[in-house]
Amino acid sequence: MKNGQLQILVCSANLGNAQPDEESMALWLPEDGQCNQVLQYPAKYPVRDQFSTFEDFVDEDKFDLIVVGMQEATFDPPTEEDLNDKDAASTESGTQSKRKPRKGKKGIAKAVNDLSSYTASRDHIKSSMVRRSVVDRMGETGRPNLADVQGKESGQTGESAMIAAVVDSNWDLGTFVLHEMMTKRLPSYERIVSYQRGQMRLEIFVYHQKRDIEVDVMYTKAQNTGRAGLANKGGIIAELIVNKRTRLSFLTAHLEAHEGAAKYQMRCSSLSDILGGAKPSSTLHDASLTSHHCFVMGDLNFRTELPAYAHGHHEAEHRQKLRALVEERDWNTLNQADELQKALRVKDCLVGFKTLFCNFPPTFKVERSPGYSYIEKRRPSYTDRILWKSNHLLENSVRPLLYEPVDDFKSSDHKPIRAAFAIKLNEAAATARPKMARRRSAMQMAGDFLHMNHNPLAHSSIHRERLYLFVSDVTVNMGAVGNSLPNPYISMVSIPEEAIKSSTSRLERLKRKIFPCFSNYSSIMSDEWGGPVERTPQGWPHSPVQKQTAQPLWEGEVFHTEVKTFYNDGRPLDMTGALVFFTVMDCKNSKLVPSASDNVLGSFSYNLGVLLKDFRPPGELRQNQANASERRTSRRGSIMNLFRRDESSQQFTADSRKTDNQPLHEQDPVKTITVDAPIFKNGLENGRIRLTLDAWWLTESTAKAILGTSGSASTIQRPSNSSPAESARMSGRMDAPQTKRRMGGDSNLGASHTFSTRRDPNMVKSTKFSKSTSLR
């Protein structure tokens, strides 16, 4: 990792159900992850619009993370009989000799075995732990050799049979061979993910000698999209977290093959099904929303289609024209005819994802030999692809370095593809927490007492402030909603969950235990300062439910919630990379009460971590300035310095007094953000949401006065001509010092969506509190 950038290599290959040879594997995976074997300048297939050389931001050593996705990756290693048949066929002239059928499973046994391979999931990381424990009992280390694996067919008993049994459950011969080949290529790497679903595999390696990188696997899930639920088609998703702050997800997929509009629609819908199905059951959002950066790879099977042949006529002529374009190296025309590029443009799938220009020959369908010799009966197409998407305000954190096929890979009818990226990790955000009490010596206390008048703020008690979010003026325009209109409401969800999610009280848990019928519905929970807040059964704040509409509108302030930046014991909550989801839900309850069975209609993710980085608590800013002033007066604050009367000391004191009398620099207590952005679900755009978000740092006295702590939601009653931000700024004055001076200008909150800060010089001069009115 260099300059806070993670270097990753993403590789994808359709192995064609054949064992890759050592030479092809060496061309695909760099030896021990060496960057200089892959990143060469000038590149054979340079990335379009590349603005810098690799040396400017890439280490000369190894990749930090290597991700390998494989399709049609099940095979039986060739036996000695197969190798003899191959040698005999190569020595014959004229006609080739027919291959002798291999003895193996027949009839029902073979059918059951094939069906199992199309449906079963195998986590080889977990099974390898069991296998290593068996091997350790034998006094050995590492993996069993191939003879032990094949021993299950020769009737072995004892410890060898135990190893064979473990291997037989999850480790077929093809898996063992692939693992050995990849381990041989990457000896300095630790395999953290090894997951198989049917004929698909996902392998993730981490360079374990990098001590400044910590990678944890959050989950690995798979989803079938083949006919009758078989796993010959589908996808696998693994989500990782790097250094506890940056979440990366990787999806490998194998989609429906062949040409035609119906097949194109199946591929698009399959990607949505994979994102929606391959996630934890307790998660509302798919990996493309919960991850800071999501990568998609695999044999996506999107074909090339020239406009003149769009209706499937003259297919032979169509294929001939495409092959002529390849010979002319007309990559521009081939990219324009690419179905995946079209799907991204018209938002048929993977909305918000990016893929690089294919500055190389199509990777399918070729002879199993070096170079590009295309099969005459298929269109040359860019079926093997790599895409990525970055979350809100992180679009510039991923820099593509490489995108190329492996020309001389000869054991498959696809050419593998690989891409290299430099990812800027989330920087640690400053934590906001209450001021903790500190023990001071008698000498320090005496100095504080004698010189308190010079800087009274430096030694005064600092208010404990908390961040509140107010959501108002919400408008949602949804697209196709099916035959019946939804009952929409807005729910606010966060990552990490502790930031917004509220845990139920003991009384509430007891009530739900005695009356289970109440456990699946929303309830009113009281925040410590903020009073009653309606929350879903999962503990998320939500808006009122609107009945049967695809264009709901909530005027005024809809709901509010506290954002916890520290735990109850004062420990800071790391909010680096924190996200808030404004999720549109469909209420399924006839009484229009949110329940646990409600469906997600779409979500927009907002980067809360960036907001907290730029928008600090006013008390913290005052404390920082007080600490700076305290450091300036430290010479005066010492008892011994009271008796020094030299000119330098007197001059220093005069300058310090002049500085202390200046008004403190302080930010606006409220940041108002206007959001106008699309909402997504499973990689598709399902509508658009517009809302106003007010972020407000409140002290305990202000929060209790404005929001109330008991009874109905007691909130501030504003004059009709005042905005939420105006009332917030007005009420925030009660805890601000008299020397407060407002700062103008907000930091840039992003260009991909519309964000602005409202400013109004007309401040309301009086405040009325009413416990009978609701929050507007």
435's tokens:
């001021």
Average pLDDT on 368-392 reads: 96
Cβ neighbours around 108 below 10 Å, total: 8
CB 47 within 8 A of CB 356: yes
110's tokens:
């073979």
Residue 293, pLDDT > 80, answer: yes
Choose the weakest-confidence range: 29-43, 436-450, 690-704.
436-450
Check residue 741 and give its pLDDT: 30
Choose the weakest-confidence range: 117-126, 370-379, 517-526, 712-721.
712-721
For residues 550 and 411, state if they share a domain.
no
CB 255 within 8 A of CB 271: yes
Residue 718, pLDDT > 90, answer: no
292's tokens:
């800071």
Average pLDDT on 394-417 reads: 96
Q: Which residues partner with 469 through β-bridges?
A: 561, 695
Check residue 557 and give its pLDDT: 85
pLDDT level of residue 619 (50, 70, 90 thresholds)? low
Residue 257 lies in a domain: yes
How many Å apart are CA 255 and CA 225, to the nearest integer? 8
How many Å apart are CA 393 and CA 613, to the nearest integer? 13
Dihedral pair phi/psi, residue 459, rounded to 5° = -115, 10
| Backbone Cα Rg of the chain | 32
Choose the weakest-confidence range: 56-60, 224-228, 582-586, 666-670.
56-60
750's tokens:
């992003």
Check residue 719 and give its pLDDT: 39
Dihedral pair phi/psi, residue 445, rounded to 5° = -65, -40
For residues 290 and 342, state if they share a domain.
yes
Q: What is the pLDDT of residues 552-575, one digit of tens each?
A: 999 998 889 999 888 877 788 899
Residue 677, pLDDT > 90, answer: yes
Residue 211 lies in a domain: yes
For residues 174 and 246, state if they share a domain.
yes
Residue 19 lies in a domain: yes
Q: What is the pLDDT of residues 79-137, one digit of tens each?
A: 666 555 555 554 554 444 344 444 444 455 555 555 555 556 778 776 555 444 434 44
Domain that holds residue 368: 5-77+168-424
Choose the weakest-confidence range: 36-45, 291-300, 329-338.
36-45
Check residue 308 and give its pLDDT: 87
Helical packing angle, 261-277 and 339-346, nearest 10°: 60
Q: What is the pLDDT of residues 439-476, one digit of tens each?
A: 556 665 566 555 544 444 333 434 468 899 999 999 99
How is residue 564 annotated by DSSP?
Answer: -
How many Å apart are CA 121 and CA 42, to the nearest integer? 42
Residue 766 lies in a domain: no
Check residue 40 and give its pLDDT: 86
For residues 366 and 495, state if they share a domain.
no
- Mean pLDDT, the chain, whole residue set: 76
Final residue of a domain: which of 655, 686, 707?
707
For residues 368 and 472, state if they share a domain.
no
Check residue 644 and give its pLDDT: 39
For residues 414 and 473, state if they share a domain.
no
For residues 359 and 471, state if they share a domain.
no
Q: Which residues partner with 550 through β-bridges?
A: none
CATH number at residue 584: 2.60.40.150
For residues 223 and 305, state if they share a domain.
yes
For residues 281 and 347, state if they share a domain.
yes
Compute the Cα dihedral for 222, 228, 230, 235 and give only its sign: negative
Residue 86 lies in a domain: no
Check residue 373 and give its pLDDT: 96
Residue 713, pLDDT > 50, answer: no
pLDDT above 90: percentage of residues in the chain:
48
For residues 374 and 510, state if they share a domain.
no
Instruction: Give the total number of structural domains in the chain.
Output: 2
The better pLDDT of the pair 531, 292 is held by 292
Residue 310, pLDDT > 90, answer: no
For residues 177 and 297, state if they share a domain.
yes
Residue 503, pLDDT > 90, answer: no
Choose the weakest-confidence range: 97-106, 306-315, 720-729, 736-745.
736-745
How distant, in Å, are the alpha carbons of 112, 448, 630, 632 from that of 642? 92, 12, 16, 15
Q: Please give the helix or strand (H or E) that residue 287 lies within, else none.
A: helix 287-290
For residues 277 and 330, state if they share a domain.
yes
CB 630 within 8 A of CB 700: no
Final residue of a domain: which of 656, 688, 707?
707
Q: What is the pLDDT of residues 140-186, one digit of tens each?
A: 434 444 444 444 434 444 444 444 444 445 667 888 899 999 999 99
Find all residues with CB under 8 Å of 351, minimum gap 6, and list them. 344, 678, 680, 683, 684, 685
Residue 411 lies in a domain: yes
Predicted TM-score (pTM) of this structure: 0.80
Check residue 476 and give its pLDDT: 97
Find all residues with CB under 8 Å of 336, minimum gap 6, and list them. none
How many Å apart are CA 219 and CA 523, to the nearest integer? 30
Final residue of a domain: which of 424, 452, 477?
424
Residue 452 lies in a domain: no
Check residue 419 and give its pLDDT: 97
How many Å apart are CA 259 and CA 365, to the nearest integer? 13
The better pLDDT of the pair 280, 533 is held by 280
378's tokens:
């298929």
Choose the weakest-confidence range: 313-317, 647-651, 704-708.
647-651
Residue 527 lies in a domain: no
Residue 704, pLDDT > 70, answer: yes
How many Å apart are CA 323 and CA 320, to the nearest integer? 5
Per the document, the length of the chain is: 776
* 3-state SS assignment for residue 333: helix
The better pLDDT of the pair 101, 539 is held by 539
Check residue 114 and give its pLDDT: 57
Strands 465-478 and 684-699: antiparallel
CATH number at residue 311: 3.60.10.10
Check residue 158 and give its pLDDT: 46
| Helix extents (H) in 469-535 | 506-514
